[in-house]
Amino acid sequence: MREIVVDTETTGLDPYQGHRLVEVGCIELINRIPSGQVFHRYLNPERDMPAEAFSVHGLSEDFLKDKPPFAEIAEEFLGFVGDARLVIHNAAFDIGFLNAELERAGRKALSRDRLVDTLLLARRKFPGSSNRLDDLCTRYGIDNSRRTKHGALLDAELLAEVYLELVEARQAQLGLAVATTAIAGPVAVSVRPRPTALTRAISAIERAAHRAFVATLGANAIWRDYLDLDTQPQASKAPGSS
């Protein structure tokens, strides 16, 4: 199963009020394990940078002026995400901007049917709690100390870790250690004889056929050591006992 964790940064809150994408970050998950494949681009929004947005992500007009506009990387972006499910925190916001940019570039919009909104997952799991990305990182003990400002790739990396916790896909350990139990002092084991011997599960014909087969295995066949057990009551002697 292939999933893409996506995050974006923008110049504002509404793509249909002239605001644009300035950064896209994507992390590929294969069977909910990061594959190491990422997609990350800074984008020229072809407009000014409002002070409110700059205070969030720190991406200035001067820094972005030589970056490509979204239309130039649209094909590459679509090729990376393919038909994978898209894991996004507050998906309506990011998919709104992505589809607005795809529309401007003359590309087909991303279907909302393929979205996994981690904000909705978190609200179901922690109703009544604050479920911002920072809050979820704190709740799950995920180190977000590098997140002094929002950044699409860093936030996608953090969200990938949060997502694995939300869907309980992360395994703290593989469980390969051998469990041991310390026992203090000797342990007494009571063994009682079976009052009635068990009924044999095989017939005389099947025992004879087995003996005939063992005879074909040679004089040193280990099965010969157990042939005499056929004549013993099943409850009185077990294979290998003396």
Place of tokens 């095989």: 202
User: Hey, which of 90-99, 166-175, 181-190 has the most confident mean pLDDT?
Assistant: 90-99
Q: In what order do the strands lie in the sheet with 21-30?
A: 33-42, 21-30, 2-10, 85-88, 115-117
Query: What CA–CA distance (Å, rounded) separates 157 from 13?
Result: 22
Structure tokens at 7: 């995050």
Q: Is 150 a known active-site residue?
A: yes
Query: What CA–CA distance (Å, rounded) separates 208 from 134?
Result: 74
Place of tokens 């063994």: 191
Q: What does CATH list as the number for 2-166?
A: 3.30.420.10
Minimal CA–CA distance to 84: which of 189, 2, 195? 2
Selected catalytic residue, list 19, 57, 89, 150: 150
Mean model confidence pLDDT for the chain: 86
Tally the residues of the chain: 242
pLDDT in tens, 123-141: 999 999 999 999 999 999 9
Query: Domains of the chain: which residue ranges?
Result: 2-166, 202-232
What average pLDDT does this structure show over 84-107?
98
Q: Residue 54's pLDDT is what? A: 96
pLDDT at 5 over 90: yes
